[in-house]
Structure 1
Amino acid sequence: MSIEQRRVALVDLLDRLLAGGVVIGGDLTLSIADVDLVRVDLKALISSVSAEVPSPWGRPL
């Protein structure tokens, strides 16, 4: 069965993405008359956390 013909539920897709982790990135620029006023660079790592995979930041103090 090819990928185009397979149907995957949204919940299953989110479960697969969170199990492996997802990196999301983007740029947002607000400008007026071709003058950049504000630039925001967004980067996020989304992943599930379990007892087998500890947090990279360690335990809070």
Structure 2
Amino acid sequence: MAEENGLAGRQVALIDLLDRLLSGGAVLTGDIVLSIADVDLVHINLRAVIHSVTADEPGPW
């Protein structure tokens, strides 16, 4: 049976994975809810954008 994904049987170094992730960018989202006895006390929405910063594309700051 042939592999449908080219990366399925291949080992990828962590640095190569991070380089590919940062060059294209990534968006991470998540929700945290703290509750006691089914009463929501704190609701936190998290959103983060991860992207590499180079001399050609400086950061927004």
TM-score range, shorter chain: 0.7 to 0.9
Structure 2 residue aligned with 1:41 = 45
Gaps of 5+ in 2: none
1:7 to 5, 8, 11: 11
**Aligned residue pairs, count:** 57
Structure 1 residue aligned with 2:56 = 52
Three-state SS of the structure 2 residue aligned to 1:7 is coil
CA distance in structure 1 between the aligned counterparts of 2:7 and 2:54, rounded to whole angstroms: 30
The TM-score, its normalising length taken from structure 1, stands at: 0.82
Indicate the percent of aligned positions where both proteins have the same amino acid: 56
Gaps of 5+ in 1: none
The TM-score, its normalising length taken from structure 2, stands at: 0.82
Runs of 4+ in 1 over 4 A off after TM superposition: none
| RMSD between superposed Cα atoms in Å | 1.5
